[in-house]
Structure 1
Amino acid sequence: MTTLLEVNGVSVTFDGFRAINNLSIQIGEPELRAVIGPNGAGKTTFMDIITGKTKPDEGRVLWGDKGASLLGMSESRIAQEGIGRKFQKPTVFEAQTVAENLGMALKQRRGPLRVLFGRDRGSEAERIAAIAAEIGLADQLTRISGELSHGQKQWLEIGMLLAQDPRLLLVDEPAAGMTPAEREHTTDLLKRAAETRAVVVVEHDMEFVRRLDCKVTVLHEGSVLAEGSLDHVTRDQQVIDVYLGR
């Protein structure tokens, strides 16, 4: 496993409040990583920094095989580099069908030149069908997206990100509002996605994190408090004191 993303000594202050404090994290490729911690620990700001939404006061954020700096890049350029982000609330085009949503995401990835010169592997319809099967919506392709359940909308949005073929997928609290069966399917979907890319999941649901069965990073007050398996970090007295004991 090679290092895909390296966050090194990063700090961010908002109006005198240090949201991220000398944070250092490495993410491999492929890898599935869970990030947990109390509210205000810096989990969202961590994702904001990676995606270019927030610029840190100090530190380095290095990306890819050549260790390019993400800090000088715009949000759109970072997305083009292969970093996809899924927010907690699903954002799909509700008036469009599942297939149309996936098709629009594919077009975003391809860009006009690749469409013009026809450099795509296989047909668009085949790719849409394959992604729909991967996310568990193969039988819903003609359905209007607004009619889907909350969990199905979450899967569709993950599918739209996968259509863009990201190297790193950032997923914010995917289990929120899901039924137990939907949570189980989401676990399987994220674990499969992480076989070929890096997937970072920010989550509060400990049972969901346990099902992911991956390395866990615990954030507290903007820095790493503990790292390792879920069993390892949940036995850490500091983690118990600041997070689990609440």
Structure 2
Amino acid sequence: MSTLLEVSGVSVTFDGYRAINNLSFAIGEPEMRAIIGPNGAGKTTFMDIVTGKTRPDEGQVIWGEKNESLLRKSEAQIVQAGIGRKFQRPTVFEEQTVYDNLQVALRKDRGPLAVLLDRPTKADRDRIEELAGEIGLSDHLDTIAGTISHGQKQWLEIGMLLAQEPRLLLVDEPAAGMTKEERDHTTDLLKEAAKTRAVVVVEHDMEFVRRLDCKVTVLHEGSVLAEGTLDHVTADQRVIDVYLGR
């Protein structure tokens, strides 16, 4: 497994508060990784840095086989390089059908003229049906996205990200607000995705993390506090003191 993303010695300060403190983190391809930690640990800021939303004060963020610096790329260029991010609240086009949401997300030329002249091909339709099957929404392709459940909207957004064919998927608290059945399906969906790409999941639900069955990175005060299996990190007294013991 080769290293896909390497964050090295990254720090960032907001109004005197150091949100990320000399953080180093690496993930391979394919790989599943869970990130846990207390509020304020730097989990969201870490994702903001990787996706170009926040620029660090120091350090490097290196991407892919060519060892490209993501810090030299815009947010749009980072997406084009193969990094997809799912925020905690699902953001789908609620007045459009599930099919239309998946169609608009397909990885294609998105220049103004290309979008204007775009007509879905048979390959596009086959890919949309394939994605719908993967996310469990095959029976809802003609359903208006605003009418499906919260969990189904989460799956649709994951499907929209997969449609972009990212090499790295960043997913923020996907289990929030879901039923147990929805959480189980979401786990299966992410584990399947991680067979062919890197998937980083930020989550507070320890049972959800356990089902992911992957390496866990614990952040605290903007740095890596512990890393290893879930059993390993949850037995670490430092992790108990700053996170689990609360």
Tell me the distance in 2 between the aligned counterparts of 1:222 and 1:108: 36
Asked if structure 2 preserves the Cα contact closer than 8 Å seen for 1:5 and 1:62, the reply is yes
User: Structure 2: how far apart are the matches of 1:92 and 1:115?
Assistant: 19
Identical columns (%): 76
Give CA-to-partner distance per residue, 1:39-70, whole Å, 9 cap, x none.
Answer: 00000000000000000000000000111000
Residue pairs, 1:7-86, within 5 angstroms = 7-86=7-86
Q: Tell me, yes or no, if the aligned pair for 2:107 and 2:165 is still in contact at 8 Å.
A: no
Counterpart check, 1:194 vs 2:226: no
Q: Secondary structure at the match of 1:131?
A: helix
Determine helix, strand or coil for the equivalent of 1:123: helix
| TM-score w.r.t. length of structure 2 | 0.95
Report the 3-state secondary structure (helix = DSSP H, G, I; strand = E; otherwise coil) of the residue aligned with 1:239. helix
Shift in CA distance, 96/121, structure 1 to aligned 2, threshold 3 Å:
closer
SS in 2 for 1:71: helix
The 3 A distance-change label for structure 1 pair 107 and 214 is closer
Deviations 1:105-163, CA, capped at 9 Å, x for gaps: 015566679889x9x99611100000000000011000000010000000000000000
Q: Give the match for residue 98 of structure 1.
A: 98
CA contact (8 A) 1:93 1:145 kept: yes
Q: Is the 8 A contact 1:109 1:165 kept in 2?
A: no
State the alpha-carbon separation in 2 of the partners of residues 108 and 156 from structure 1: 19
Partner of 1:240, secondary structure, is helix
Gaps (5+ residues) in structure 2?
none
Match of residue 168 from structure 1 = 168
Q: CA deviation at 1:238?
A: 0.3
Residue 18 of structure 2: SS of its match in structure 1? strand
For 1:232, the equivalent position in structure 2 comes to: 232
Question: Counterpart of 2:106 in 1: which secondary structure?
Answer: helix
Instruction: State the alpha-carbon separation in 1 of the partners of residues 127 and 210 from structure 2.
Output: 32
Deviations 1:198-233 (A, max 9, x none): 000000000000000000000000000000000000
Distance in 1 of aligned mates of 2:94 and 2:146: 4
Q: Residue in 1 aligned with 2:143? A: 143
Give the match's secondary structure for 1:85: strand
Match of 2:126 in 1: 126
1:207 aligns with 2:207: yes
Deviation >6 Å, runs of 4+: 112-116
Between the aligned partners of 2:168 and 2:69, the Cα distance in structure 1 is: 15
Q: Deviation of residue 191 (structure 1)?
A: 0.1
After TM superposition, the score normalised by the length of structure 1 is 0.95
One-letter amino acid of the counterpart of residue 9, structure 1: G
Distance in 1 (alpha carbons) for counterparts of 2:70 and 2:112: 25
Q: 1:74 to 1:104 in 2, by over 3 A?
A: same
Amino acid aligned to 1:40:
G
CA contact 1:109–1:163 (8 Å) conserved in 2 = no
Q: How many residues align?
A: 245
Instruction: State the Cα deviation string for residues 153-188 of structure 1 (Å, max 9, x = none).
Output: 000000000000000000000000000000000000
Q: Tell me, which stretches of 5 or more residues in structure 1 are unaligned? A: none
